[in-house]
Amino acid sequence: MAIDLRTVSITPLRQTFGHLARRMGADKPASRYIEATMDLQPVENFHYRPTWEPQYDIFDQTRTKITMKDWYALKDPRQYYYGAWTLARGRMQEIAEGDFDLVDEMGLAAAYPAAGKDEALKVFLPLRHVAWGSNLNKAYVSSYGYGIAISQAACYASMDQLGVAQYVTRLGMAFNDLDSLADAKAAWLNGAEWHELRRYVEDLMVEKDWFEVLVAQDFALEGLLYPLIYERFNEKLNAAYGPVFSMLTRFQREWYGETTKWMDSVLKVAGADNADNKAQLAAWIKHWRDRAVVALKPVAALAFGAEADAVMDELVQNLNARAAKAGIAL
């Protein structure tokens, strides 16, 4: 049964802002995501050229090889404006907090078999630096990307990666092992297993095309790294020792599942805009996918030993399938 509450009803003069009505093709109410995103970045009448890169305008479409008829077509399917994003992350952190508390209260970390712990920590802990690099590279995309649709999504993803770096750090702390964090940093800086991955991340720190950085970091690298570690490696540890690491990396797994939707949608829309984009995206994906495989194989070997190649092959197939689904033929 419906309860019919009454309010004083006043007929509005208009339903939304002019730029949104023109965009939607009708004067109708716009969602908070649309209001917070569309057509807000200045595009004209800039006063000055950047002293740091005078060849460009403050916001400049030519900072990437990708071209778009409408940069706001790169919408976020999650519809994350700040409020929606922070509420979603607020829920995830609450769950993560519960997991960390539970592990602590029940002494699950202390009870974890020593062999498993060593095996796990040497794979997980250097990843805090990878996430830190990802934070920086996504900050590049949010700084120089064109339009608020992409800049805000990249900004949130960048902060997410700072969160991931901190969760991985807390994972080290949950095992009460500050030495292992120091060892992991030494391995990251000097260990042969991490050499190529660090090169990959650092190469992106000097890459100037922001869209290429996005493809290389978010699609190629994270598209292989996250399933490799936070899915496959966790499954392996779960089977051998119990699910503690799966609990303490739940944030990363959920983040990846969710962020993939955004990334795939960006690829699909950019590729659909024109044939040059499609070809460029395919070229970038192939190039960076192959480099990511080189970068990740030693890490996969650390995690999976002799099975590493087989696992990587399968993940590459999955990544190719994601590209194909986004309409990018490799």
Partner 1 sequence: MDMKVAKKLGLKERYSLMTRDLAWDTTFHKMEDVFPQTTYEGIKIHDWDKWEDPFRLTMDAYWKYQSEKERKLYAILDGFNQNNGHLSVTDARYINVLKLFLGSTPPLELMAARGFSMMGRQMNGAGPRVACQMQAVDEYRHFQTQIHSISNYNKYYNGMDEFAHQQSRMWYLSDGKSFFDDAITAGPFEFMVAIGFAFEYVLTNILFVPFISGAAYNGDMAAMTVGFSAQSDEARHMTLGLECIKFMLEQDPDNLPIVQRWIDKWTWRGTRKLASVGMMMDYMLPKRIMSFKEAWEMYVEDNGGSLFKDLARYGITIPKCFSQTIEEKEHVSHQSWIGFYMKPEATPFHTWIPTPDEMDWLSEKYPNTFDQYYRPVLEYLDQQEKAGNRFNNKTAPMNCQVCVSTMKFNEPGDPMEMCFRESIYNGEKFHTCSDHCKEIFDNEPEKYVQTFISSHQVLQGNCEPDGTDVNVPDFKPGQNMLDYWKLDKRALGDFNGSEDQKNFAQWREQATKN
**How many Å apart are CA 17 and CA 31, to the nearest integer?**
12
Of residues 290 and 313, the one with the C-beta less far from partner 1: 290
Contacts of 51 (CB under 8 A, 6+ apart): none
Q: Is the dihedral of CA 113, 118, 120, 121 positive or negative?
A: positive
What is the three-state SS of 149-168? HHHHHHHHHHHHHHHHHHHH
CB neighbour burial string for 151-164, b if at least 16 within 10 angstroms, e if fewer: bbbbbbbbbbbbbb
Q: Which SS3 state, helix, strand or coil, does residue 25 take?
A: coil
Which residues in the 95-124 window bind partner 1 by CB under 8 A? 96-97, 110
Count of helix runs (H) and strand runs (E) in the chain: 15, 0
Q: Which is nearer to partner 1, 2 or 14 (CB)?
A: 14
Tokens found for residue 264:
């795939």
At closest approach, how far in Å is the CB of 175 from partner 1? 8
Name residues whose C-beta falls within 8 Å of residue 301's C-beta, 6 or more positions apart in sequence: 193, 308
- Sketch the per residue contact string, 4 through 43, with partner 1: x for CB under 8 A, - otherwise: ---xx-x-xxxxxxxx------------x--xx--xxxxx
Which H/E stretch holds residue 303?
A: helix 275-304
Q: Which is nearer to partner 1, 146 or 226 (CB)?
A: 146
Q: Least distance (Å) from partner 1 to the CB of residue 117?
A: 11
Smallest gap, in angstroms, from Cβ of residue 288 to partner 1? Answer: 16
- CA-closest candidate to residue 328, choices 290, 273, 291: 273
| Closer to partner 1 by Cβ: residue 10 or 306 | 10
Site for partner 1 in 150-209 (CB under 8 A): 151-152, 155-156, 158-160, 162-163, 165-167, 169, 173, 175-179, 181, 185, 188-189, 198-199, 202-203, 205-206
Shortest Cβ 186–partner 1 spacing (Å):
10
Closer residue to partner 1 in complex, CB, 139/282 = 139
Provide the minimum distance between the beta carbon of 15 and partner 1 in the complex, in angstroms, as a whole number. 6
Interaction with partner 1 in 63-102: which residues (CB under 8 A)?
81-83, 86-87, 89-94, 96-97
Identity of residue 203: D
- Cβ proximity to partner 1: between 87 and 310 the closer is 87
Confirm or reject binding of residue 129 to partner 1 (CB under 8 A): yes
Q: How many residues at the interface with partner 1, by CB under 8 A?
A: 85
